[in-house]
Amino acid sequence: MSRLPVVILISGGGTNLQALIDAARDGLPVDIRAVISNQPEAYGLQRAQQAGIPTVVLDHREFETREAFDQALASLIDSYQPNLVLLAGFMRILTPAFVRHYQGRMLNIHPSLLPRFQGLHTHQRALDAAEKEHGASIHFVTEELDGGPIIIQARVPVLPGDDAARLAARVLEKEHIIYPLAVRWIAEGRLSLNSAGQVVFDNQVLSAPMDLDKVDS
């Protein structure tokens, strides 16, 4: 099987990036052509460099407008000719033009059971809402923040005595499973977004997100 060319965008520590790097080493059919960060100090850059992956810093603070940054970012991404762009803790709200450019070719991971708790501080918000379960979602990126069509979710129970850090750690373990899984499905031609904005898996339109506990990878 030919390897799917991907570019990964990060802003921080890059644990999901590491999960993807590890999965690629273990047979995930992707070619990680570059890791791009808007933060020069992002530890994820070191993770990529240690794996021999090209890294680039594109500091958003050097651009006068969000549009100018996104235009430069798109040009940089496209120079690597990826078939898929992966947001892995990339902490930027993307402009509509940028999102449209990668329609159906860009995934994001979000630490909640979307559509619950879009945005930031999801773990504390889940605790504050007395949720019984929490989790993570992989979705196609659209112009609505954290609102694109959801591919797969993984659930964890909210346990007595949980704080945000403990809950986040359990969710993160699931994130590291579902992101490489969704990428594998795209690489294998099993997963796509159709022209109506619906998730298609094994030639079937999904009526609801897949649940990690119920899928046969």
How many CA atoms lie within 13 Å of 176's alpha carbon, on the beta-carbon side? 15
Dihedral of alpha carbons 85, 86, 92, 94, sign = positive
Q: Supply the pLDDT for residue 1.
A: 66
pLDDT for the residue numbered 195: 94
Q: Where are the beta strands (DSSP E) in 125-194?
A: 133-140, 150-157, 191-193
Distance, CA of 173 to CA of 154 (rounded, Å): 10
Q: Which of 101, 110, 121, 176 does the annotation list as catalytic?
A: 110
Q: Where do the domains of the chain lie? A: 4-214
Please name the residue that has the structure tokens 């902490």. Answer: 91
156-209: per-residue pLDDT in tens?
Answer: 999 999 999 999 999 999 999 999 999 999 999 999 999 999 999 999 999 999
Question: To the nearest 5 percent, what fractions of the chain are helix, strand and coil?
Answer: 35, 25, 40
List of the chain residues with pLDDT < 50: none
pTM flag (> 0.75): yes
- Greatest Cα-to-Cα distance within the chain, rounded to the nearest angstrom: 49
H-run or E-run covering 200: strand 199-201
Summarize pLDDT for 52-61 with one digit per residue, the tens: 999 999 999 9
110 is known as an active-site residue? yes
Query: What's the angle, vertex CA 144, arms to CA 80 and CA 194, rounded to 5?
Result: 65
CATH class name, domain 4-214 = alpha beta
